[in-house]
Structure 1
């Protein structure tokens, strides 16, 4: 809506705006010329020097009017009035020689007063949701600091040696990245007023909107969302799902990452499966605890946790596997889930629930999507090959239904189970009197669990995120400082966070183990294979082979259906486009698809065909988030494109550093003991945990997320 107008011009809005710009230019040139002449040519006359400064003030006023700022008009009137005062009272000039023209200059701007606004006028781009980001000092400092350190690694090493400086830079980077999007609580979620469950669809045809509501704000069973839904018409105009999925699929050409190992790929799946948990009965909801809590081995609630505990010494249930020729002791693995004779889930594990509420307070009512006793039926949807009797009897008891999905998932669970039991035994040895108390088993278990969870948090920040960041400056886990940040809020998983973690392109076509090439069905749901080689050998094998590069046209064919479900899921809830999320994370919009792809002609043509300009909306604004995240150009040594990197980092920091175990009044020897604090401080990587839990007799193994031979000569 335009502001009030003093005079009316019989021109179109565009013509009036162009005329206003011409008037600003002409009078601005006159004022600038007068300022130069009066300020420089009359050095001996202080009144002329003053006039020069006033004319320069007039130039500034005209610039503000050109920006459609009303303050500029009133400043110009003030400076014009000042010109009259100087000429009439100090220079004794006849008023109509110099004053009258300046009155006319001011009058020329009166018809355009309606185009101006108090404060910053609305930018046409601001009508987009969200508007184009404005610069802020924290983002500016963070971006330039990271860029400077990346160019000069020696600076990073110097900063890391000076502890106070390292802490300052560490906090600036973390706070700058995490403050990019608005903090929780978010006004929108996937809540809708439907009275019953909303099933997932796979054709993208069913779309649902939402609005701010009380249940949407407080009920974390409904997944959150960062941006409001787009219109149904915009979703309907998107290209067919099958054509979009074709962008993701790998042909015969596997694109390896020069930097990322397959271990990172499998660890990312294991890590995110614990909190990115869409409710299979209702697509609006999740079955997540919204915390990084090692529910993979502890379960989603205390009732389930009790079923996984030994009941003595603070230990988790475990068993000894068959000793391999090189092992001096029998290796430790999770207990078997299934009775091998009855082929049924053992009664001691049957009530492990895969819903947080039921896992916490079991009331004999089945959770909406089952318990451990129903696991075989739940997994049959994947394929009958996953549940043959030979494979079924090798399933491990664990906290989540996906625990046996790959031999790497089982290996990582095994490592953290061993670490928990190691910690519990060491605590019992260090504090025998406390361990012998009536609640000693509970104290040992909960203290070991607390330490184990914080070890995982350290791995996420200092190993996982540092690998993705690719910066010579290594971020550290700091407890306490997050308490004072504006983003220190209750965790909530969002739709966008769920979708951005679909890193199927990282999965290799085959997994090399023991001199064999294993196809996907061979290393999935096959724990017998894990124990034939040992958890250490499986981790070493994953760490010494390359993951796929996270780009389009690199998803293996056996993961086509998950890609299709991701695109359909985004459309079902009318997810905003890629450029909208650039703006939400304080990155400037791309003006064209060619700019988005960095000039990749083949990819540009493919995207322009699928997302042409339509109804006044540029094609680049229509590119969907899952597509844009992988299509975006990045430097050769970066694992992730810019937006994906920023979204992952901000969510990881805001989810990890708000963990209650890191709070100022929780973290310390009362929570972890002195021994526990020492274990936390000496751990900085997943490899640290692996190495101290290797079975005696096994050779030292590699457990790195990054390829140590990476030099930047090949794309990351």
Structure 2
């Protein structure tokens, strides 16, 4: 059954239709640099200005039952204070808390909602657009800035920047533990693949995996999380010393961290060859800056292009936006965190070394990467599809672990309804479940559980929507990503006009930045040579 599109809004429909059609016109626009820049600026601004821009008038501080710095309980308030405007240890929020919507008895029992994520008849829905690299990449780069504090979920441990802290650490102290202090490079070791070829990897974190003793050179790097502590010694022995506590959690995460480590060290070699008078510190800092901008460019030009159905390819253009009212200090929001909980994009099984393998076997299992090698494993990853983002498609082991706790957190933080967020983002409020999805079964289950669309929760509503044609994600998810991703990537200090130049990155570094557009570029210059390039892409 087709979805009722009457509540999509004319301007939204027109924008999507225009950007998703007329390819010859878009090709012409993008062939003219001046015209391309003007259109890029117009489209980016048109997305970001759909909602009120930063600073947020509220943060999670409004829900904290204690006055910061004291042990005195306070009344939960929803007014703006100086603390709520500047204390970024509390996560931001787009809409104020809605205690009435979240009051007990108004929403379904959380356990009853498991059916919305469980696969229908055990069947997996695969993406028609995305390879497995897509969810790997998303988890890797979002985990670096969407960092909820597990001791107090109203707070965060984020630097609020796309700063590759998963590679370099969150603090200078952590960064120094990972540096070799020779030639600007990060610490590495050579490890052999099954075929005997050696490749570069981070050093191992544990000195004694049997006893759980950390290598003394990495004391203070991070506190191991519970999953890591419970690992058998043979897996623990292969965990790498990397920037954040979750960096070893999943095979794709480790691949991308390893790739960045190799690229950082490769850039150091190129810089040292061209600037022999540079000391270790300048080589390190410049290589780090170059790599961060490379990743920002890939996010803007390859990743964003992949998730949209558009023919126009957005790009980073620092000079165009500095006078915009949205050009403000970054602050990650709870809604942005929920928008990126794409657990349904991870299949329960994947192909490893030609054999079907349970996905959970890749958790905390770095030996799989070491044995196969980075290039071959990345190519195999890109030869198979991710699963489709949406309801009724989450791996069973992630439903209790991730999906239901996310709904619980939404209620704890008193998030407003799905319809309230549609309205905030410039979509008309829906009046029936068939305006969210054309799938009869989904409509039926939502009606059974929620009764009316006005009672639908933000997180459930996000993923109840149908994925748009030739897109990787649903419409409201795309809108919120467009707003937060563009406004937070483009305000990175390295993209400021007075910083984004040859003086900052060096002429050689400037050339590296402008000659690197894709993940494939990074992979094929950081793996042992073979006869033909590895095929690496987000697109099936």
Same topology, TM > 0.5? yes
Pair 1:629-2:459 in alignment: no
Matched with 1:311 is 181
Q: Which has the higher helix share?
A: 1
Query: What is the distance in 1 between the residues matched to 2:109 and 2:195?
Result: 55
The structural deviation recorded for 1:379 is 2.3
Query: What is the distance in 2 between the residues matched to 1:264 and 1:624?
Result: 26
Decide which of 393, 406, 409 is 1:554's aligned counterpart: 393
Decide which of 59, 71, 88 is 1:189's aligned counterpart: 59
- Cα displacement string for residues 25-71 of structure 1 (whole angstroms, at most 9, x for unaligned residues): xxxxxxxxxxxxxxxxxxxxxxxxxxxxxxxxxxxxxxxxxxxxxxx
Change (3 A) 1:661 1:335: same
Greater length-normalized contact order (CA 8 Å, ≥ 6 residues apart): 2
Matched with 2:312 is 473
Instruction: Assess if the C-alpha contact under 8 Å between 1:229 and 1:576 holds in 2.
Output: yes
Pair 1:348-2:348 in alignment: no
Matched with 1:239 is 108
Instruction: Assess if the C-alpha contact under 8 Å between 1:551 and 1:630 holds in 2.
Output: yes
Matched with 2:335 is 496
Write the mapping of 1:91-130 to structure 2, written as runs, cut at 5 A: none
Write the mapping of 1:420-439 to structure 2, written as runs, cut at 5 A: 420-433=264-277, 435=278
Pair 1:639-2:438 in alignment: no
> 3-state DSSP class of the match of 1:480?
helix
The structural deviation recorded for 1:498 is 0.8
> 3-state DSSP class of the match of 1:292?
coil
Matched with 2:502 is 669
Query: Matched residue pairs, number?
Result: 522
Query: What is the distance in 1 between the residues matched to 2:169 and 2:21?
Result: 44
Decide which of 423, 431, 438 is 1:583's aligned counterpart: 423
- Cα displacement string for residues 548-580 of structure 1 (whole angstroms, at most 9, x for unaligned residues): 111210001010121011000000111111111
The structural deviation recorded for 1:323 is 4.8
Decide which of 26, 31, 48 is 1:156's aligned counterpart: 26
Instruction: Assess if the C-alpha contact under 8 Å between 2:148 and 2:156 holds in 1.
Output: yes
Query: What is the distance in 1 between the residues matched to 2:519 and 2:431?
Result: 41
Decide which of 128, 132, 140 is 1:262's aligned counterpart: 132
Matched with 2:71 is none
Aligned alpha-carbon RMSD (Å): 2.1
- Cα displacement string for residues 127-164 of structure 1 (whole angstroms, at most 9, x for unaligned residues): xxxxxx9x9xxx95x87455224221111111111111
The structural deviation recorded for 1:635 is 3.4
The structural deviation recorded for 1:324 is 4.6
Query: What is the distance in 1 between the residues matched to 2:365 and 2:67?
Result: 37
> 3-state DSSP class of the match of 2:128?
strand
- Cα displacement string for residues 589-645 of structure 1 (whole angstroms, at most 9, x for unaligned residues): 1122222224x3222121112122xxxxxx212111111111123433222111111
Query: What is the distance in 2 between the residues matched to 1:703 and 1:312?
Result: 31
Query: What is the distance in 2 between the residues matched to 1:677 and 1:254?
Result: 44
> 3-state DSSP class of the match of 2:116?
coil
Instruction: Assess if the C-alpha contact under 8 Å between 2:207 and 2:213 holds in 1.
Output: yes
Write the mapping of 1:5-404 to structure 2, written as runs, cut at 5 A: 144=14, 146-191=16-61, 192-195=63-66, 210-232=78-100, 234-236=102-104, 237-251=106-120, 252-325=122-195, 327=197, 330-340=198-208, 343-352=212-221, 372=222, 374-375=223-224, 378-380=225-227, 384=230, 387-404=231-248
Query: What is the distance in 2 between the residues matched to 1:306 and 1:628?
Result: 43
Query: What is the distance in 1 between the residues matched to 2:265 and 2:359?
Result: 31
Instruction: Assess if the C-alpha contact under 8 Å between 2:78 and 2:97 holds in 1.
Output: yes
TM-score, normalised to structure 2's length? 0.93
Instruction: Assess if the C-alpha contact under 8 Å between 2:308 and 2:471 holds in 1.
Output: yes
Change (3 A) 1:512 1:186: same
- Cα displacement string for residues 207-235 of structure 1 (whole angstroms, at most 9, x for unaligned residues): 97643222211100000110011124643
Instruction: Assess if the C-alpha contact under 8 Å between 1:461 and 1:475 holds in 2.
Output: yes
Instruction: Assess if the C-alpha contact under 8 Å between 2:382 and 2:536 holds in 1.
Output: yes
Query: What is the distance in 2 between the residues matched to 1:209 and 1:564?
Result: 27
Query: What is the distance in 2 between the residues matched to 1:234 and 1:304?
Result: 40
Write the mapping of 1:545-624 to structure 2, written as runs, cut at 5 A: 545-561=384-400, 562-598=402-438, 600-612=439-451, 619-624=452-457
- Cα displacement string for residues 647-694 of structure 1 (whole angstroms, at most 9, x for unaligned residues): 011111011000000001111111100111111111111111111111
Query: What is the distance in 2 between the residues matched to 1:379 and 1:478?
Result: 42
Instruction: Assess if the C-alpha contact under 8 Å between 1:190 and 1:210 holds in 2.
Output: no
Matched with 2:3 is none
- Cα displacement string for residues 306-341 of structure 1 (whole angstroms, at most 9, x for unaligned residues): 1100111000111111155374xx211111111147
Matched with 1:458 is 297
Query: What is the distance in 2 between the residues matched to 1:291 and 1:350?
Result: 25
Decide which of 263, 268, 282 is 1:443's aligned counterpart: 282
Query: What is the distance in 2 between the residues matched to 1:524 and 1:287?
Result: 23
Write the mapping of 1:487-526 to structure 2, written as runs, cut at 5 A: 487-526=326-365
Instruction: Assess if the C-alpha contact under 8 Å between 1:209 and 1:574 holds in 2.
Output: no
Instruction: Assess if the C-alpha contact under 8 Å between 2:168 and 2:243 holds in 1.
Output: yes
> 3-state DSSP class of the match of 2:313?
coil
Instruction: Assess if the C-alpha contact under 8 Å between 2:193 and 2:373 holds in 1.
Output: no
Matched with 1:690 is 523
Change (3 A) 1:607 1:464: same
> 3-state DSSP class of the match of 1:518?
strand
> 3-state DSSP class of the match of 1:238?
coil
The structural deviation recorded for 1:347 is 1.0
